Amino acid sequence: MNQTTPPTAASMPEGHLNALLTAVESKTVIITGGANGIGAATAKLFHAHGANVVAADLESSRGAAEALIESLGQPSRASFLPASVVDWAQMTAVFKETLRQFGRIDIVVANAGIMETQPVLDMEDLNADGELRESLEASRVIDVNLKGTLNTLRLAMFYMKESPPDSPRSIVLLASTSGYFGGTGVSAYIASKHGVVGLLRASQSAAKRYGIRVNGVAPFFTPTHITAGFAESWKAAGLEANTVDGVARVIARAAMDPTNEGVCLLTAGKHVRDLESTRMQLLPSWLGSDTAEFMGRAMRFFTEIGGYVLPKARTG
């Protein structure tokens, strides 16, 4: 099996990306978590190339979102819509209002995410009776990062499947290197981002039925609010870091290259690699060629029967 990485957005020249971004003019982009950090940088990038942008974020982010919109060249082509990604009614309202304001939805970036502030596996977190407390914060991290991404993905597919013929029909899920590697100890965040990678893989067959492309981006260390606790130490160690603008450009690569379907671009400074194609290439050496061949036949079986046959709901 050929072990070389095929040409993808991972190796795309900057000029090629700029050419692809010309196609975003007059299109509409929804970005969750769009008021700050990577989300705001992504909104600026798409807007600079002529797109209408909608920053969907918490009401508490209104000030940052309004400042972002005011900084754009044409604020009339941008909107802040307050919503929590875990609230289905609020997120539905975001999509409906976007259609009302701009008439179309072409690209959705599921960027909203949080990280726990206390260790989830801390066995010293006890109540007055000496019993281990439930980690409510861990549940919230998993809800926002995984349930919120699933909500965004489902609504994006529903409202995008009737998009005009010239629409990119593109969804980008923000995973993380923590969705592939799990050594940093932030248990809820790592589990949730592994779930986002699972959504990326599981969504492909349904998305293709509607002509929708779903791709992922997996940023490594990027200076934002959730990495502030070790940003200076990282810099002092001489380790290369992303910038929010650099991650935004990788998101644009994932969204705008029509050859991308099911890719997940790791971005670590100057390093950009498609993790999904690499994983597929390495399956024989990982599983052994005999097991890889069997798993391939098994997956073809599911394709031939139209997908996994869901069990009936239990009534008792």
Side by side, the strands of the sheet bearing 271-274 are 78-82, 52-57, 28-32, 107-110, 170-174, 213-219, 264-268, 271-274
91 lies in some domain = yes
**Domain range for 124:** 12-269
Tokens of 283: 């399956």
Looking at residue 199, its amino acid is L
Query: Which are the catalytic amino acids?
Result: 189
Q: Domain of 237: which CATH number?
A: 3.40.50.720
313 lies in some domain = no
309 lies in some domain = no
pLDDT in tens, the chain (316 residues): 333 444 444 456 678 899 999 999 999 999 999 999 999 999 999 999 999 999 999 999 999 999 999 999 999 999 999 999 999 999 999 999 999 999 999 999 999 999 999 999 999 999 999 999 999 999 999 999 999 999 999 999 999 998 999 999 999 999 999 999 988 889 999 999 999 999 999 999 999 999 999 999 999 978 777 676 776 776 777 777 789 999 999 999 999 999 999 999 999 988 999 999 999 999 999 999 999 999 999 999 998 998 889 999 998 7
Rounded CA separation 45/53 (Å) = 10
Identify the CA nearest to 68 among candidates 42, 97, 29: 42
201 lies in some domain = yes
User: Three-state DSSP class for 204?
Assistant: helix
Rounded CA separation 93/61 (Å) = 17
Res 12: pLDDT: 63
Q: How many domains does the chain have?
A: 1
Other C-beta atoms closer than 10 Å to the C-beta of 278 total: 15
Tokens of 247: 């991650």
311 lies in some domain = no
275 lies in some domain = no
Looking at residue 215, its amino acid is N
159 lies in some domain = yes
Helices (H), the chain: 14-21, 37-48, 62-71, 88-102, 136-142, 148-160, 187-202, 204-209, 231-236, 244-256, 275-287, 289-304
Res 226: pLDDT: 67
242 lies in some domain = yes
